Structure 1
């Protein structure tokens, strides 16, 4: 009986490996080479202008959730603090000095040694989940490399590489834009996804109370990433 189970597991593992190899061969794309320089900066600025970037800059509070409501956020951009909550945890995250952050479990403040991995987890959640909310506004962040990539349809894409910062520096994203510069999707070359060039939509936008554009959902093939009840406001 044990031999049959082991044999069955081996067959299943083999099929999974073959399936991955096929998917990799069919869907994997090589990271394109772009053209650095003023044209790339101009294209990035065109994208920001289409989104009315100043409205986003002036927005003080951002609220959203991620992974079906598993992670919840309230971000005070002015104070540079974020309330991050999941399961029974609440972290009052200090983005300037993470060592000053406070972690609670069940409403009770955690001891320093206990809280450290929870705060680190909150930072990782925030870095990932906030990117899906505000990525277009980060194209001129410190350490970002921008380049222009000619696309098959004759338009230009904006290739953005984060050379430092965040949780996974080195990740690259190729933005596809409407003629006016408004973002509609990007392709990803990221550390956590072994297949390069997976595309995610950025076409489900809403105008916030503050006037800023923020996305409500993203589509990655059959998978929908919901941003929950998204809010952007000042009071």
Structure 2
């Protein structure tokens, strides 16, 4: 008997193929820089730079707490909690209440990758004006951005589409971590944080995977007055943040 591929598998393959596309060519120059500034303004970039800290849950699993001002990060994933400093490179690792030492290097590496990936979804626009980013106008007045260095996966490219206000509405990705080249992601359900920064909480990738952010909170000041500092143990371990940064590249 001749085997027939189930219709749902055919539909799945069709969606995958439809999501693929070739990396377009772009034209750098004044038009690209003007579009960059329009996107940054719509992303509340100045308010983001003034935000002291942010926390959120990524896809209902990993929890991030990012102290932007002091460059201190906490990542909770599976049963692990990892804190690390972008300045000193030192880290603390726990499984429940038990501090881990031998496994901490490996866990920190995993936490750093999660941090780069998850915080990128807060708003990719926050990264388009970095020195390692090459910006160009591509098809239909869209902004093509290639990160030449830095981050977890240097060389990645993104094609951004905006709404009438300049907020990101769609992103196509040519990244080493995804097998689909040109995979499309949408941005929806923009909500304003306590510091005035709007964030899209809902994303759909390749019309299949949901990348949602929940429990989002931004802080104008952290640590908050009269409340404990979650990074006190890490600061005691590192001797406090210094003046040299490892530089968030992406």
Please report the TM-score for the alignment, with normalisation by the length of structure 2. 0.79
Q: Is the alpha carbon distance of 1:21 and 1:210 closer, same or farther for their aligned partners in structure 2, counting shifts above 3 Å? A: closer
2:203 is aligned to 218
Give the one of 12, 17, 42 matched to 2:34.
42
2:214 is aligned to 228
Specify which structure has the higher proportion of helix.
Answer: 1
Q: How does 1:2-151 map to 2 (within 5 A)?
A: 26-68=18-60, 70-98=61-89, 100-111=90-101, 113-151=102-140
Q: Is the alpha carbon distance of 1:180 and 1:134 closer, same or farther for their aligned partners in structure 2, counting shifts above 3 Å? A: closer
Q: 1:21 and 1:106 mapped to 2: Cα distance?
A: 41
Q: How does 1:157-196 map to 2 (within 5 A)?
A: 157-196=142-181
Range moving further from structure 2, 40-49 or 190-199: 190-199
Does the 8 Å CA contact 1:145/1:163 hold for their aligned counterparts? yes
Q: 1:23-47, CA deviations, whole angstroms, 9 ceiling, x for partnerless residues?
A: 6654421100000122211111110
Structure 2 stretches lacking a partner, 5+ long: 4-9, 222-250
Does the 8 Å CA contact 2:91/2:104 hold for their aligned counterparts? no
Does the 8 Å CA contact 2:19/2:184 hold for their aligned counterparts? no
Q: 1:76-113, CA deviations, whole angstroms, 9 ceiling, x for partnerless residues?
A: 10001111111221111212232x111122222222x3
Q: 1:196 and 1:104 mapped to 2: Cα distance?
A: 37
Query: What SS class does the counterpart of residue 215 from structure 2 fall into?
Result: coil
Q: 1:102 and 1:40 mapped to 2: Cα distance?
A: 42
How much does 1:22 deviate?
Answer: 6.3
Q: 1:226 and 1:48 mapped to 2: Cα distance?
A: 22
Q: Aligned pair count?
A: 217
Structure 1 stretches lacking a partner, 5+ long: 1-10, 12-17
Query: What SS class does the counterpart of residue 122 from structure 2 fall into?
Result: helix
2:193 is aligned to 208
Q: 1:63 and 1:25 mapped to 2: Cα distance?
A: 35
Query: What SS class does the counterpart of residue 131 from structure 2 fall into?
Result: coil
Does the 8 Å CA contact 1:56/1:213 hold for their aligned counterparts? no
* Structure 1 vs Structure 2 CA RMSD: 2.5
